[in-house]
A = this chain, B = another copy of it.
């Protein structure tokens, strides 16, 4: 049920090495040429395998695409759920680190180019949409824990909404900072702005919100 269309499981070590190279090449093709040039032949060429060999591991383009998306999502969540944040016990410092990390991540060409492609895909594929949502579902709790630590008086629902608001706001910068984008170099400034702006939201109590 989990792996519907990816037939082969890559049993041998050689097979796993191959699938790894293929997924890496597939990502390269998607990043560099976009999904509309994401063809079996292009991926096979980039991975330096024959089309037949590629199809042995991923019989259809759909199975390859799904595997690639799963691979990317797994990689992304692993990096952000890392142990870096637990190094400092100060919650506000954890927030600063989280914001800086996420914005810094956007500078990588991979993130800059891959995510818009994934978002576009998610608009037309239920699978991609579900996977994307699951990806953010991993990130949000990480941020939610920090928010709760900073202001324990906030309700769980409020924390959930704040996490979503902040994650969404950060993701928006993907289009502007990063590889070849015009606003690269201002990442630190934006990280400071994010800290200042979102810190206010978090520290705000119910009473403050009704007025103005």
Contact = CB atoms under 8 A, between A and B. Distances in A.
Task: Determine the main DSSP class of A at the interface with B.
Answer: helix
A88 interface: no
A193 interface: yes
Interface in A160-191: 161-162, 164-165, 168-176, 182-183, 186, 189-190
Contacts of A189: 161, 165
A20 interface: no
A196 interface: yes
Interface stretch (A1-9, A31-39, A78-86, A144-152): A31-39
B196 A200 contact: yes
A28 B11 CA distance: 44
Interface of A: 32-38, 112-113, 116-117, 119-124, 132-133, 136, 161-162, 164-165, 168-176, 182-183, 186, 189-190, 192-194, 196-198, 200-201, 204, 209, 212
20 contacts: A33-B124, A35-B35, A35-B36, A36-B36, A112-B123, A113-B123, A116-B119, A116-B120, A117-B123, A119-B120, A162-B193, A165-B189, A165-B193, A165-B194, A168-B169, A169-B173, A172-B173, A172-B174, A196-B200, A196-B209
